[in-house]
Amino acid sequence: MRASTPAELHAEAERLRRADGPVDPAGDRFAAVVTLVLDDQVAPQRRAVNWISSLHAYEDHWRDLGRAPRENTRARATLTDEERHLGEWARYQRRFEGGLNAYQRARLDVSPAFEWDPLDRVWNERFEACERFVTAHRTLPRLHAADRTEFLLARWLGRQLLRLRSGRLEKVRTHQLHRLLREARRD
């Protein structure tokens, strides 16, 4: 699948924003500035120019490395200042979502790099991998498996089961895990 260009993402965000409802003058002004930036014209609003430039840098990082920028990591030597700043920028967008105008929210919604809740996405991806494993093998992944993928799934699943037993797992995820366990017990 081909990655969308900034201009295509801008057009999609505009379509979504306009379909969403009431007039948003701040969003209109912001979108107009983004259009100028995309056309390589001088834009008067530095805040909007800085915001879209940061988003484009965030998406470029994602395209180049295949992952979103991090703001922290155990391997600190691998984290550049630029990546850390981009990761902090994304956290700020999530934290102050209510302060963003309609265009900014729509543009972040269509961004292939940005996630409003990246931890939820990771949990869902790992759970879906466990579901595929159970469907294919009719058993839960094992820790003593020779296959590294199975081992990693088993380790993740074990941590989720510990959270389930201690009552620290959200209700929806509790139901998902119980369904997975029932599926693995079927012959």
Domain span at residue 11 reads 6-110
Across the range 173-186, mean pLDDT stands at 92
Q: Once rounded to an integer, what is the mean pLDDT over residues 144-157?
A: 91
Instruction: Work out the average pLDDT over 108-127.
Output: 92
Shared domain for 15 and 99, answered yes or no, is: yes
Arithmetic mean of pLDDT, 15-29: 85
| 25-53: pLDDT as tens digits | 888 888 999 999 999 888 888 899 999 99
State residue 1's pLDDT score. 42
Average predicted confidence (pLDDT) for the chain: 90
User: How many residues would you count in the chain?
Assistant: 187
Residue 96 CA to residue 187 CA, distance in Å, equals 49
Is residue 61 within 8 A of residue 86, CB to CB? The reply is yes
| SS3 letters across 98-134 | HHCCHHHHHHHHHCCCCCCCHHHHHHHHHHHHHHHHH
Tell me how many domains the chain contains. 2
Average pLDDT over residues 130-158: 92
Which residue has tokens 């997975």? 180
DSSP state string for 80-92: -HHHHHHHHHHHH
Could you tell me if residue 1 is inside a domain? no
pLDDT band at 125 (very low <50, low <70, confident <90, very high): very high
Amino acid identity for residue 130 in this structure: C
Residue 3 has what pLDDT? 60
Is the domain of 84 the same as that of 34?
Answer: yes
pLDDT digits (tens, 9 = 90+) for 131-141: 999 999 999 99
Given this model, what pLDDT does residue 145 score?
A: 75
Query: To 10 degrees, what angle do helices 25-38 and 6-20 make?
Result: 160
Q: Which residues contact 167 (CB under 8 A, 6 or more apart)?
A: none
Q: Of 110, 140, 162, which one is at a domain's C-terminal end? A: 110
pLDDT digits (tens, 9 = 90+) for 79-91: 899 999 999 999 9
